[in-house]
Structure 1
Amino acid sequence: MRLLASEVALAVGGRLVGPDVAVSGVSIDSRTVAQGELFVPVVAERDGHDFIDDALAAGAAAYLTSAPPRGATAVAVADTAAAVAELGRHVRSRFDGPVVGITGSVGKTSVKDMAAAAIGADRPTHASPMSFNNELGVPLTLVNCPESAEAVVVEMGARGKGHITWLCSLGRPTVGVVTAVGAAHTELFGTVEAVAEAKGELVESLGPSGVAVLNADQPLVSAMAGRTQAKVLTFGRSTGDVRASGVSLDVGLCPRFRLETPNGQAEVALAARGEHMVDNALAAAAAALAVGVGVDEIAAGLGSAKLSPWRMEVTELASGAVLINDAYNANPMSMAAGLRSLAAVDRSRRVAVLGIMAELGDRAAAEHAAIGALARELSIEVIPVATGDYGRPPVADAAAAVAALGPVDADTAVLVKASRAAGLDAVATALSES
């Protein structure tokens, strides 16, 4: 994205102060702002306006501000976060390629990464970094789209009813993917059915020329076909338009399978780890198919896809132990998938260091207890951190969890997983550095 500051001002309803310079890209972090970018100071726990001088010193060409301008080139606005959303809307209006929107209770980021790789095997493709899926992340993804991109993949999260509808008004997806619906954020939504209602806003936003990609294995998702004007393309392990057959795992937990689609078949060897990644790959393959990518290109792209950090990162430690770092986030569906992946590792001792699954509301105790029961069924030792709901006495923090693990030798496999707020990546880091 390359714009003049005057165009930025017009798009966001702001006032240009200073020279009319060109900007390329947008950053909300003064520590990572690049030469020529537009700096957007966000007012949150810290006021980003305090870092405008740092951003300019780092090379920012201009900045938004809701405070009095302080020299250089500024665009004065009432609300900087609202302004960056409007800028995302403006940049989207200039893009005429396909935009793939992805939502769901689990797998959003992994499907985004895989879809970007699958589509990217055919044409230049831009995607959200990491989990940029909220009211800031979606517009930032749009405004940072390179001029060379011919397709965009956008992850969309839901923090309440109507949230995805609003995100879709910015991104205007032409393809909408719903990965799965489960007990995630039920503290906010109340019921799984309410989660499905919110996630389905994505397919409702699609017009008759769009494509809704839906999980055929999940009734709450497949039922969304009745909520869209778009063509429906389904995926699933054994049902749906895009399927997987002959699924197997290699010794590193990388899945192998035959991709079956209405346009042909191809063998797929994923670099991503865990059998549940097959479902994510099928969703991504369907999205790529929807924008016209050939089956062989899809298979090649899926095979080269690299996932965002702390998602099923499998490493062998110096001791020979296996570490599965899946510490970025957790809900009941992803936690169960993580435990089953751990159970598939060929080690005599399997230990899961588990933190809290956040935002489950009244379901929290029961959902944690169910995961504890699954671990016992799979003969997995559990070290709970800061919660007793898994059915075992907890340790206090990450350091105590590392101590409770004791010697981690070549006969041991360890899974580290929790909601991001638990900070259990510290356990994985400590084990990797030991």
Structure 2
Amino acid sequence: MDIYTLIMNAIIILLIAIFIRHSLHRLRYFLHMFQQLGYKTNEFRHWLMDHFYSRFFTSEHIFFNLLILGMITLLVDRITLTAGSITMFIFTLFWFLDLSRYKAEKEKKPLVYTARLKRLMVTTLIIIGFLWFYMIDIAYRGVQLRDFVAPFINVDPYFLSFGMVVVDIFIPIFLFMAAYLMKPVEKKIQNGFKKQARKKLASLPHLKVIAITGSYGKTSTKFLMDAFLKERVRVCVTPGSFNTPMGICKVINNDLDAHHQVLILEMGARYEGNIKELCDIAQPDISVITNVGLSHLETFGSQEAVAKEKSTLAKELKSGGTLILNGDDPLVRKMADLRDDVNIVFAGSEGKVRISDSETDAEGTRFEMGIFDDENNRIDKEIFKTKLLGKHNIQNMSIAAAVALEFDIRLKTMSIAASKMEPVEHRLELKERNGLTVIDDAFNSNPVGAKNAVDILASFKTGKKIIITPGMIELGELEEQENQKLGEHIAKAGLDLVILVGDNQTKPLQKGLSSVQNGEAPDVRVVNTLFEANDLLKDYASPGDVVLYENDLPDTYNS
């Protein structure tokens, strides 16, 4: 083999290597997005359509295919295969060596190589690997074009390049195929975990299962319940936002022990039937429903559909159990009519647990909690002081107190527990950072919580007041309207700087901000990413200033 043949074969091998490297990085990127979307094929399909030209079928794919078409139709009889191979290699190097489109400088939520993800990845790689081998084999075996000078290569560079770019384009489709192929396997594995969890719960007849759901506030209320109950009983509680079937099964199978007396489970829902699936794993002795809001309208379609799904927790409650409802939410209050064989407890202005004389500011919250009997007589009261911020946490605390009363825990005991509580991570969590006061409310913003967080920011008396937000998502047809309302609320709050993350995403916020003319308008800046927002904050803010991080969209919203 002469030196020219060696060089040309090395060029072909490098061309193949560049494409394989590019495709593997695309696969990792799409696996990351698929994981963040909860492995939901329908949501992944919608995401791909929303990012069709920026991620799925990109400009380099279009131009490279046009190049191949031009080479075959115009130049194939005029230049040698050697020249064609060099041309293909140069453009491959130019368009596909760069991976920046699929490598974020920083990932908000890194890819986690779980057992499920590894199974999915291996299945996809088998599909892709077969196609790579097939394309390369045909390119070497089926050469139709021949050099009209010395034949330094024995491969069709045009078909090889076309085959490699087609595989690269269809990486997300192959991921879809792998996901569907693995569905029966994943279902069998999940059913095994569910069966194990049900068997374990059956072996603990003394255990009381408390299940909580709601559009928002359920995680904070869950941890309040835990804080109150653990003063007297041994509690096992799901961490963070573990509210899916596999999250619940993991806690039951791995963390729940025979000495536990209470199991607190958070039950989330994005689709109809989600809560029924969770209750089939662990049927509650006590069901708690916090509210019915505007979250997840993207999948449910209407607030009434959300209410219907949340009401499943009331329907699935064990006969003779206790149903604890937020009496100040009309849609939740109506759920009391669903059962006549359970004990109904309302928390709210006319319920068993009532709040009065509440005060909330930057330092925390103070209020009086009272307990009332069926004849509307107050039978106990206590002053609560807590570091938790916001009016919504007062409501959460009244619901948690209603649960604690079922275990004969006194208000005084709850008050002591409340005084020691720290905010839940990313939910109005107060921090100090480089001399700044930071209000971290970055978890899954909703209309009620977002306005409440802005009011808390406005309540600070010293320093410049700054908000960083991309707005709210998953509000369906109301998303634009609710974000515009939030923009108007921000404009009236007397803030100094508003940093909006994502120009297109925050258009309704911008409209709301600009619609308010009275008062001194805040300075509004628009940036592309949270990291740019933080850079701007460094230049603007001084020690003593206060910054609110309101919502933080997942990596799936990065363009």
Q: Map Cα deviations across residues 345-392 of structure 1 (whole Å, 9 max, x no partner).
A: 223522111124222222211111111111112123421111222116
Secondary structure, aligned partner of 2:547 = strand
User: The residue matched to 1:330 in structure 2 has which SS?
Assistant: coil
The alignment's TM-score, normalised by the length of structure 2, stands at 0.60
- Per the alignment, in what secondary structure is the counterpart of residue 328 of structure 1? coil
**Cα separation, partners in 2 of 1:42 and 1:89, compared to 1, 3 Å:** farther
For the residue of structure 1 that corresponds to 2:399, the secondary structure is: helix
Q: Which residue identity lines up with residue 389 of structure 2 in the other structure?
A: R
Q: Match for residue 400 of structure 1? A: 532
Q: Percent identity?
A: 26
Aligned residues of 1:215 and 1:234 also touching (Cα < 8 A)? yes
In structure 1, how many angstroms separate the alpha carbons of the residues matched to 2:556 and 2:365? 28
User: Amino acid of the residue matched to residue 366 of structure 2?
Assistant: R
Q: Report deviation, 1:317.
A: 3.1
3-state SS of 2:431 partner: strand
Mapping 1:130-209, distance limit 5 Å: 130-143=240-253, 144-209=255-320
Structure 2 distance, partners of 1:86, 1:93, is 11
Aligned partners of 1:119 and 1:293 also within 8 Å = yes
1:233 aligned partner, one-letter code:
V
Aligned to 1:109: 219
Deviation at 1:195, TM superposition (A): 0.7
Q: Does the 8 Å CA contact 1:266/1:295 hold for their aligned counterparts?
A: yes
Q: What SS does the corresponding residue of 1:245 show, helix, strand or coil?
A: strand
Matches within 5 A, 1:11-410: 42-44=115-117, 46-47=118-119, 79-95=188-204, 96-143=206-253, 144-228=255-339, 229-236=341-348, 238-249=349-360, 251-252=362-363, 254-262=364-372, 264-319=380-435, 321-380=436-495, 381-386=497-502, 387-388=505-506, 389-391=508-510, 394-405=526-537, 406-410=539-543
User: How much does 1:251 deviate?
Assistant: 4.5
What count of residue pairs does the alignment treat as equivalent?
356
| Contact 1:395–1:401 (8 Å) recurs in 2 | yes
Cα distance change, pair 213–131 in 1 and its aligned pair in 2 (3 A): same
Name whichever of 302-311 and 275-284 sits farther off. 302-311
283-292 or 106-115: bigger deviation: 283-292
**AA matched with 2:402:** A
Change (3 A) 1:264 1:279: same
Shift of 1:420: 4.7
Q: Distance in 1 between matches of 2:438 and 2:540?
A: 13
CA offset digits 1:257-291 (Å, max 9, x no partner): 11111352222222322232111111111111123
Measure, in 2, the Cα distance between the counterparts of 1:82 and 1:302: 39
Structure 1 distance, partners of 2:322, 2:243, is 20
Residue type of the alignment partner of 2:444 = N
Q: Distance in 1 between matches of 2:441 and 2:358?
A: 22
Q: Which amino acid aligns with 2:369?
A: L
CA distance in 2: counterparts of 1:77 and 1:362, whole angstroms? 33
Change (3 A) 1:128 1:346: same
- Please state which structure has a larger fraction of its residues in strand: 1
**Residues 158 and 274 (structure 1), Cα distance of their counterparts in 2 relative to 1, 3 Å cut:** same
Offset of residue 41 of structure 1 = 6.1
Say if 1:268 and 1:302, in contact at 8 Å, map to a contact too: yes
In 2, distance between residues paired with 1:249 and 1:166? 38
CA distance, structure 2, for counterparts of residue 230 and residue 42 of structure 1:
41
Residue equivalent to 1:421: 554
CA distance in 2, matches of 1:136, 1:336: 33
**Structure 1: runs of 5 or more not aligned:** 1-39, 51-75, 425-434
CA contact (8 A) 1:313 1:325 kept: yes
- Please identify which structure carries the higher helix content: 2
Contact 1:41–1:80 (CA<8 Å) still a contact in 2?
no
Q: CA separation in 1, counterparts of 2:322 and 2:192?
A: 30
Between 1:150-159 and 1:358-367, the stretch displaced more is 358-367
Contact 1:196 1:220 in 2 (8 A): yes
Normalised to the residue count of structure 1, the TM-score between the two structures is: 0.76
Asked whether the 8 Å contact 1:245–1:259 carries over to 2, the reply is: yes
Q: Deviations over 1:83-142 (max 9, x none)?
A: 212222222222222211111011011001100111111111110101100121122222
- Distance (whole Å) between structure 1 residues aligned to residue 321 and residue 397 of structure 2: 21
SS in 1 for 2:245: coil
Q: CA deviation at 1:178?
A: 0.9
Asked whether the equivalents of residues 331 and 419 of structure 1 are also in contact (C-alpha less than 8 Å), the reply is no
Runs of 4+ in 1 over 4 A off after TM superposition: none
Instruction: Confirm or deny: 8 A CA contact 2:466 2:548 kept in the other structure.
Output: yes
Contact 1:101 1:173 in 2 (8 A): yes
- Which amino acid letter does the alignment assign opposite residue 43 of structure 1? R
Q: Secondary structure at the match of 2:488?
A: helix
Q: Distance in 2 between matches of 1:302 and 1:219?
A: 27
Q: Structure 2: which 5+ residue stretches go unaligned? A: 1-112, 123-184, 373-378, 511-523
Tell me if the contact between 2:361 and 2:459 (Cα under 8 Å) persists in the aligned partners. no
Give the Cα separation in 2 of the matches to 1:162 and 1:291. Answer: 30
Tell me, in whole angstroms, the C-alpha distance in 1 between the residues paired with 2:479 and 2:276: 28
Over 3 Å counting, the alpha-carbon distance change for 1:78 and 1:201 in structure 2 is closer
CA apart distance, 1:218: 1.0
Is the contact between residue 276 and residue 313 of structure 2 (CA under 8 Å) also seen in structure 1?
Answer: yes
Bigger Rg over Cα = 2
User: C-alpha separation between the residues in 2 aligned to 1:421 and 1:48?
Assistant: 21
